[in-house]
């Protein structure tokens, strides 16, 4: 077992990547925007470096089958902003690139200004490389909702999408927020569920907890394509309410960089393949990330403030 554990990284192929966009050429929101100029640069980079853009389901299936997905990339677009319809869509068509669009259904159904209409959505769906999927009804912070509220929100979104003949099998968590309870509620409803934790796609991918890497205004795609999953197992986080008391994990590395939102990056030495730190750090935000990193290899974990979550 031990030998297998250490050889594992050598046996694996390279990893695929799913990249996530939100807004296109919309300067009002730089943190979720990509300019059309940068988008084209990224597409040109992929083309000239032999990357193939596929639907994310194809990427996931191939990864699980043990095929080499090193040169495969998939694109997701969350929130169905009008700016994709206006500025982004034509560039995807120009490059014949597929994408999955995750619809914030209430925004579309109630004609909220920034979001696509059903008619615009239908126009996009005519493109044979477009995959229309579900990004909730009301874009809620799911972990703050009761189980019944989560189910109600999801059913409402599914009803409206399916009434328009969209074949829904995928879900992207609003804000990338979820926990074990949310995962369990949504698992029977979708084949593919996507988070927003940076990481690669490899053979061990969990179809219902898939990593995605957000690309915003100045993101360097060449660098993001280098991201691979870090070999770190049995991660255990000991906490009292919102304070991270201890983090333990098993890893073959002698030193690992560890990040916690608000706490920053620290180099941590391991002992006999055990990583153990006692940050004693109180989370200040609702949504936080713990990241383990060695060079381009990373593992990202989402941690939420328990005091603001619903306990049932
Ligand atoms: Zn969203």
pLDDT tens digits for range 212-263: 999 988 889 999 999 999 999 999 999 999 999 999 999 999 999 999 999 9
Cα of 123 to ligand 1 centre, how many Å? 21
In this structure, are residues 182 and 150 in contact, taking their beta carbons and an 8 Å threshold?
A: yes
Mean pLDDT of the residues in the chain? 94
Tokens matching residue 69: 């997905």
Residue 4 pLDDT > 90, yes or no? no
Secondary structure of 194-214 in the HEC alphabet?
A: ECCCCCCECCCCCCCCECCEE
Cα of 135 to ligand 1 centre, how many Å? 7
**What global pTM score does this model have?**
0.93
Q: Are 213 and 273 contained in the same domain?
A: no
Name the residues around ion ligand 1, CB cutoff 5 A. 78-79, 174
Q: Are 216 and 68 contained in the same domain?
A: yes
Residue located via tokens 């300019």: 35
Structure confidence by residue, pLDDT tens digits, 292-306: 999 999 999 999 999
Cα of 172 to ligand 1 centre, how many Å? 8
Cα of 22 to ligand 1 centre, how many Å? 8
Confidence band, pLDDT 50/70/90 cuts, at residue 310:
confident
CA distances from 201 to 114, 184, 194, 300 (A): 32, 22, 12, 13
Domain boundary among 227, 261, 289: 227
Q: Are 274 and 304 contained in the same domain?
A: yes
pLDDT of amino acid 5: 54
Nearest to 101, CA basis, from 73, 138, 129: 129
Q: Are 165 and 130 contained in the same domain?
A: yes
Cα of 138 to ligand 1 centre, how many Å? 10
Residue 77 pLDDT > 70, yes or no? yes
DSSP character for 311?
-
pLDDT of amino acid 12: 56
Cα of 257 to ligand 1 centre, how many Å? 29
Cα of 108 to ligand 1 centre, how many Å? 13
Q: Are 266 and 217 contained in the same domain?
A: no
Cα of 49 to ligand 1 centre, how many Å? 30
Nearest to 43, CA basis, from 60, 64, 21, 28: 21
In this structure, are residues 97 and 77 in contact, taking their beta carbons and an 8 Å threshold?
A: no
Span of 137-146, 148-157, 216-225 with lowest mean pLDDT:
216-225
Residues 86 and 49: their CA atoms lie apart, in Å, by: 28
Spell out the alpha helix ranges (H) of the chain: 2-11, 36-48, 56-64, 82-83, 89-94, 105-109, 118-125, 147-163, 180-186, 221-224
**With pLDDT > 70 as the criterion, what percentage of the chain qualifies?**
96
Cα of 101 to ligand 1 centre, how many Å? 11
In this structure, are residues 34 and 215 in contact, taking their beta carbons and an 8 Å threshold?
A: yes
Domain boundary among 171, 204, 227: 227
Q: Which domain holds residue 258?
A: 233-308
In this structure, are residues 310 and 144 in contact, taking their beta carbons and an 8 Å threshold?
A: yes
Q: Are 11 and 120 contained in the same domain?
A: yes
Cα of 21 to ligand 1 centre, how many Å? 10
**With pLDDT > 90 as the criterion, what percentage of the chain qualifies?**
90
Cα of 104 to ligand 1 centre, how many Å? 7
Cα of 244 to ligand 1 centre, how many Å? 27
Q: Are 164 and 267 contained in the same domain?
A: no
> Considering its fold, how many domains does the chain have in total?
2
Cα of 130 to ligand 1 centre, how many Å? 18
Cα of 10 to ligand 1 centre, how many Å? 36
Structure confidence by residue, pLDDT tens digits, 87-105: 999 999 999 999 999 999 9
Residues 165 and 194: their CA atoms lie apart, in Å, by: 22
Q: Identify the sign of the CA torsion 23, 27, 29, 31.
A: positive
Cα of 211 to ligand 1 centre, how many Å? 15
Q: Are 257 and 158 contained in the same domain?
A: no
Confidence band, pLDDT 50/70/90 cuts, at residue 31:
confident
């Amino acid at each position: 077992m031990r030998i297998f554990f250490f050889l594992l990284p050598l046996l694996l192929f390279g990893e695929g990547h799913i990249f996530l966009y939100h807004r296109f050429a919309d300067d009002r929101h730089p943190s979720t925007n990509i300019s059309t100029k940068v988008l084209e640069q990224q597409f040109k980079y992929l083309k000239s470096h032999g990357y193939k853009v596929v639907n994310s389901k194809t990427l996931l299936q191939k990864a699980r089958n043990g095929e080499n997905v090193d040169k495969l990339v998939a694109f997701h677009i969350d929130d169905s902003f009008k700016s994709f319809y206006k500025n982004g869509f034509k560039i995807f068509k120009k490059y014949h690139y597929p994408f999955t669009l995750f619809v914030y259904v209430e925004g579309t159904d109630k004609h909220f200004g920034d979001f696509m209409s059903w008619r615009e959505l239908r126009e996009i769906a005519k493109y044979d490389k477009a995959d229309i999927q579900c990004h909730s009804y009301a874009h809620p912070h799911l972990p703050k909702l009761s189980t019944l509220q989560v189910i109600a929100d999801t059913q409402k979104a599914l009803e409206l999408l399916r009434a328009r003949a969209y074949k829904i099998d995928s879900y992207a968590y609003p804000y990338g927020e979820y926990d074990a309870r949310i995962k369990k509620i949504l698992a029977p409803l979708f084949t593919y569920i996507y988070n927003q934790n940076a990481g690669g796609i490899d053979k061990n991918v969990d179809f219902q907890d898939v990593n995605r890497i957000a690309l915003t205004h100045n993101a360097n795609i060449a660098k993001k394509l280098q991201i691979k999953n870090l070999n770190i197992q049995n991660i255990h986080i000991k906490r009292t309410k919102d304070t991270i008391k201890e983090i333990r994990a098993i890893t073959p590395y002698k030193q690992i960089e560890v990040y916690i939102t608000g706490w920053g990056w620290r180099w941590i030495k391991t002992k006999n393949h055990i990583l153990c730190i006692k940050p004693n750090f109180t989370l200040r935000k609702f949504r936080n990330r713990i990241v383990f990193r060695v060079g381009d290899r990373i593992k990202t974990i989402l941690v939420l403030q328990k005091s603001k979550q619903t306990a049932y």
